[in-house]
């Protein structure tokens, strides 16, 4: 696993574990196989066949579902003749007045804007690469942004929140799921699958090589 002349190798051929700094030679494993850090077991490289296309399709589906989920009601409530339906935007913007407005904006960002932004960035960055074209301008920085946003994309937590809310007011009124809830449930599923298909090292590597090729082709 560990050869002595690794320190003399070209840094471009190496990979360091982001969690424990262990140094390896970056070798593309077989499709479906994974290169795992021997020390801390962080997955370093895990390419999958036709992953690019799969990820783009999933991102497009996420985009459609988020936009749909914003407009359709996700929960419906009725009690003593009063009926109310809530859409995602209603929930996101429910903290009105004073300092709670900040919370409204934060919630909107976490459950709508961040997932949306990540889907758009993924398509923008990866689509040209999948179709064997050079990556678009700023691809590396935008992919970095998409990665930085990852922990702040909380659609799946919101979906579980809907279920908890349902139980919480069960004694207060009758509740039922609207179409947007099911869209959200599907969204959660898609986000998880997309994450499993994404081999970050392969993306960084492809973008870097594409960028280099673009620079070579450009007139000096």
Partner 1 sequence: MSGAPHLLTAREAGLVSCTRCTRVWPAGTSACGRCGKPLVSRDGYSLSRVWAWWIAGLMCYFPANLYPMLRTQVLFTVSEDTIVGGAIELAKYGSYFVALIILIASVAIPIGKFVAIAWLAVSVRRGSRARPQSRHRLYEIVEYIGRWSMIDVFVVAILTALVQLNIAASIKPGPAALAFALSVIFTMLSAQAFDPRLIWDRDTSDDGTDRA
Cβ 46 vs Cβ 203: under 8 Å: no
Out of 61, 103, 186, 193, which residue is the one contacting partner 1 (CB under 8 A)? 103
3-state class (DSSP) for residue 15: strand
Could you tell me which of 12, 11, 61, 21 has the C-alpha nearest to residue 44? 21
Site for partner 1 in 15-74 (CB under 8 A): 15-23, 38-40, 44
- Shortest reach from residue 155's CB to partner 1, in Å: 10
Site for partner 1 in 105-124 (CB under 8 A): 106-107, 110-111
Binding mask 8-47 for Zn ion (x = CB under 5 A): ---------x-xx-x--------------x-xx-x-----
Out of 120, 130, 154, 188, which residue is the one contacting partner 1 (CB under 8 A)? 154
| Residue 220 interacts with which of Zn ion, partner 1, none, CB < 5 to 8 Å by class | none
Site for Zn ion in 162-191 (CB under 5 A): none
- Shortest reach from residue 52's CB to partner 1, in Å: 17
Looking at the Cβ atoms of 39 and 168, the one nearer to Zn ion is 39
CB atoms within 10 A of CB 65: 23
Out of 57, 144, 149, 186, which residue is the one contacting partner 1 (CB under 8 A)? 144
3-state class (DSSP) for residue 74: strand
Site for partner 1 in 156-185 (CB under 8 A): 157-158, 160-162, 164-165, 167-173, 175
CB atoms within 10 A of CB 106: 13
Residues that bind Zn ion (CB under 5 A): 17, 19-20, 22, 37, 39-40, 42
């Amino acid at each position: 696993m560990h050869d002595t002349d690794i320190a003399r190798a070209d840094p471009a051929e190496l990979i360091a574990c982001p969690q424990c700094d262990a140094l390896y030679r970056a070798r593309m494993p077989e499709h479906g196989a994974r290169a795992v850090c021997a020390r801390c077991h962080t997955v370093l490289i895990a390419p999958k066949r036709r992953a690019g296309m799969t990820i783009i399709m999933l991102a497009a589906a996420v985009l459609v579902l988020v936009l749909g989920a914003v407009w359709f009601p996700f929960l419906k409530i009725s009690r003593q003749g009063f009926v109310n339906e809530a859409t995602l935007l209603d929930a996101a913007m429910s903290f009105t007045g004073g300092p709670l407005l900040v919370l409204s904006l934060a919630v909107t960002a976490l459950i709508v804007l961040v997932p949306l932004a990540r889907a758009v960035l993924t398509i923008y960055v990866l689509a040209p690469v999948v179709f064997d074209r050079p990556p678009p301008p700023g691809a590396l920085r935008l992919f970095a942004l998409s990665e930085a946003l990852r922990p702040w994309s909380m659609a799946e937590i919101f979906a579980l929140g809907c279920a908890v809310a349902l139980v919480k007011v069960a004694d207060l009124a009758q509740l039922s799921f609207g179409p947007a809830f099911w869209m959200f449930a599907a969204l959660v599923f898609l986000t998880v699958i997309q994450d499993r298909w994404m081999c970050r090292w392969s993306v960084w590597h492809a973008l870097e090589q594409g960028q280099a090729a673009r620079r070579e082709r450009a007139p000096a």
